[in-house]
Structure 1
């Protein structure tokens, strides 16, 4: 699965269905899929986690996929309409600072205060948080278009690592990548001199990426692979990918590192046994599913779920799981100001819970 290549410098489905509030508009043409038989990972249970009250904060533009905290404590997120939104530490006074012209996904701050933005299909971008100016950093990797840049983090030396969920689709057709099960995801590195290198490929829908508290490794989430792995930056395992938490009972999304080093993982939806059986069956069945109108395709289960893992053992150390009539499909979980902030692609809100209420029950 690991390779290294250096190159020259350089809800969503419904919105794409052609149906809007009863008004018939031309349906968007979907790209073809080319599925292969794939054996989904086993499902291991996680400990019971609390079900705290979910508080909601509306976000202009809706569906805030990620959330990050600036050095001044303010919250930042990216909306479905391309907006980059800043909020006060308590979630009030939402202000649109910039617009990428695409779909902002994962975010990360640089040491100089600029905001890194993974955008689909725009690529890897940088936003000046004072002026709102948007700069393009990477649009191609190895001659291919970076159309599904997913998550990003900067290390202490200014190196930027970013994930690519799939090289074959944009976020608008993310379901196609899941149906194909071809492992077209990757982890890339952007060096300070502008060189882009693929450090790991063959990932099954690469998604969240975060730096461990000691800076020794990155933790990467594979949504379809239902696992967290460590890509080592230092020490005897430098350059290697090792498992941290595998056989997860849900599809992991964005990651963040908590104050004590714990790795927060958003669980966007539980594992689906029917989908797993479909993946192991004839590829033609998944081609047929792809041809169905979005309203007839299987929908993710409605749940609010996030789990924190120990960065060394991979054992769960905190979490939450509940339901809310107006909030689900959690894609980010980030600690700030005594709260755990939650992003979502299934709602027009950020959510938050009291961080103390995510402690695991005593066994």
Structure 2
């Protein structure tokens, strides 16, 4: 493994120096690096003027790919020494042999902007450039949505340096991730990652201008590279299934699409994904918390716009319930649904009463609700206590021994849309509440909490933990026993804790943790603690899920389920 410097990541494709001494590769933040055995990595070129700036480093550079650049496919014209780059968000570029700032060739074709470029190759016989778009509807940051919806708007393009014209050769491709021209220039192969298929487009000969299926024998093919003049190709392959590790492999195919060799890469490089992202449908986002179906077949989660979704491996997401009558309307989707949370609803903490099957929901702006096992429209239980309206509900849990519901308010002064103000001012007006289904009474148990984000009742029902996100602290409120009705500091070892969930019946808990820095929280982690507040295990989630606004980690059947405040996906990671 050759670690990439300067907190850059993702060397996605390679182009080899004509001297045979090293390679070029594009990385996050818009840089093209050159690697030699003697010097290691050195800067060679950049996609934009901004690419060399420090704010294009690390995860900020990934998030700002539209400004910094994100090189995907790259290939040399061996005769001229020019290096061509398909930059995922910023279009087709070329870099002279001297390196430096790339020259943009095209960011659209026929007046239609590129959305998500990916693979690229140069015809070794003519110098013509072939490149792909993974999707013409979705951008790189929406790749999971494209996969989840089985998007089929990918295209194959051709750029002729002699005429400087870009043209469309193929469309309707399902995740066109890579392409490779044959050594004799007679055809180009195009991988369809989503469809586990490779197509062949004939460049010359009696079939010129036509396409055909080449092979279905390579699982989820990504980049394709020809092997010299042998007529064979290497294909990067994974198994893109939910939960199951991806089993990366190098697959060699011949010019007839026959598999000649398969080399598993798992032992040397690990599973490139021990996790999976489950894109949320319908322009909804932020599956913040999870409740698991008693049958063990799936989970429930609340998303923007006031919907509660149910997910199962067989069906994916289906609508289960809604907070308001408006939640199913079109204007509760996307950014509008987030903006109109006060009308649509915004479910935060959720938990099932495993005995009755009722699903309780702390809706951030609209109060405490319950949903029957049949789903449908939620019933509002309370939107105030002692005549004081809730401003910003957040965490929720159900006592597994009594069915009593515990829930928090992040703040009693600021609403959900003012969360950054609350954090900036170090607001300490959060509270812990109790709802007893037997009496239908809501009572206040704790106040003066600094960002009371999550809560979790112990498996024996003796206490409830409450996280203070702003203060990086967790408190314990005793429900029963000699300390009943009192509270104490439980742990200050978890940075900016959000939701807390019981790990199992052994008394441990999982805590969602981030480092709350300026702009966005960073370094999401799953932290396991015992009933004494001791940290037992810390799992970094950054590599698998990026610097997501982590809200929850919830263990179920040997996997961690990853919740996000604003992300378009729920995550699953195998323990």
- TM-score w.r.t. structure 2 length? 0.46
Q: Deviation of residue 79 (structure 1)?
A: 0.6
Which of 313, 317, 320 is residue 539 of structure 2 equivalent to? 320
- 1:100-144 CA-to-partner distances (Å, cap 9, x unmatched) read 121100001123111101112110011123131310011111222
Contact 1:326 1:347 in 2 (8 A): no
Report the counterpart of residue 497 of structure 2 in structure 1: 252
Secondary structure (helix, strand or coil) at the match of 1:176 reads: helix
Report the counterpart of residue 457 of structure 2 in structure 1: 211
How many aligned positions are there? 276
Distance 1:304 1:197 in 2: 33
1:93 aligns with 2:316: yes
Q: Which has the higher contact order (CA 8 A, sep 6+)?
A: 1
Distance 1:181 1:206 in 2: 12
Q: Deviation of residue 157 (structure 1)?
A: 2.4
Secondary structure (helix, strand or coil) at the match of 2:394 reads: strand
Contact 1:52 1:322 in 2 (8 A): no
Contact 1:105 1:119 in 2 (8 A): yes
1:136 aligns with 2:380: yes
Report the counterpart of residue 280 of structure 2 in structure 1: 59
- Note closer, same or farther for the CA distance 1:91–1:80 as it changes in structure 2 (3 Å cut): farther
Contact 1:54 1:324 in 2 (8 A): no
Tell me, which stretches of 5 or more residues in structure 1 are unaligned? 1-50, 273-297, 356-363
Secondary structure (helix, strand or coil) at the match of 2:316 reads: coil
Distance 2:499 2:404 in 1: 20
Contact 1:152 1:161 in 2 (8 A): yes
Q: Deviation of residue 319 (structure 1)?
A: 2.7
Report the counterpart of residue 118 of structure 1 in structure 2: 362
Distance 1:345 1:195 in 2: 29
Distance 1:195 1:120 in 2: 19
Q: Deviation of residue 72 (structure 1)?
A: 1.6
Which of 353, 360, 363 is residue 573 of structure 2 equivalent to? 353
Distance 1:233 1:344 in 2: 29
Distance 1:52 1:244 in 2: 34
Contact 2:349 2:397 in 1 (8 A): no
Report the counterpart of residue 145 of structure 2 in structure 1: none
Tell me, which stretches of 5 or more residues in structure 2 are unaligned? 1-271, 324-343
What does 1:105-184 correspond to in 2, within 5 Å?
A: 105-110=348-353, 111-155=355-399, 156-184=401-429
Report the counterpart of residue 79 of structure 1 in structure 2: 303
- Note closer, same or farther for the CA distance 1:309–1:351 as it changes in structure 2 (3 Å cut): same
Report the counterpart of residue 291 of structure 2 in structure 1: 68
Contact 2:524 2:550 in 1 (8 A): yes
Contact 1:230 1:241 in 2 (8 A): yes
Contact 2:275 2:544 in 1 (8 A): no
Secondary structure (helix, strand or coil) at the match of 2:461 reads: coil
Which of 515, 521, 538 is residue 270 of structure 1 equivalent to? 515
Report the counterpart of residue 231 of structure 1 in structure 2: 477
Q: Deviation of residue 326 (structure 1)?
A: 5.7
Distance 1:299 1:271 in 2: 9
> Which structure is larger by alpha-carbon Rg, 1 or 2?
2
Secondary structure (helix, strand or coil) at the match of 2:357 reads: coil
1:329 aligns with 2:553: no
Contact 2:454 2:499 in 1 (8 A): yes
Distance 1:84 1:303 in 2: 28
- 1:72-121 CA-to-partner distances (Å, cap 9, x unmatched) read 22201111121101011x48521111221211000011231111011121
Secondary structure (helix, strand or coil) at the match of 1:172 reads: helix
Q: Mean Cα displacement is larger for which, 191-200 or 325-334?
A: 325-334
- Note closer, same or farther for the CA distance 1:91–1:247 as it changes in structure 2 (3 Å cut): farther
- Note closer, same or farther for the CA distance 1:85–1:176 as it changes in structure 2 (3 Å cut): same
Distance 1:317 1:326 in 2: 22
- TM-score w.r.t. structure 1 length? 0.72
- Note closer, same or farther for the CA distance 1:227–1:92 as it changes in structure 2 (3 Å cut): farther
Q: Mean Cα displacement is larger for which, 151-160 or 75-84?
A: 151-160
Report the counterpart of residue 13 of structure 1 in structure 2: none
Report the counterpart of residue 341 of structure 1 in structure 2: 561
Report the counterpart of residue 431 of structure 2 in structure 1: 186
Name the structure with the higher strand share. Answer: 2
Secondary structure (helix, strand or coil) at the match of 2:376 reads: coil
Which of 283, 293, 310 is residue 530 of structure 2 equivalent to? 310
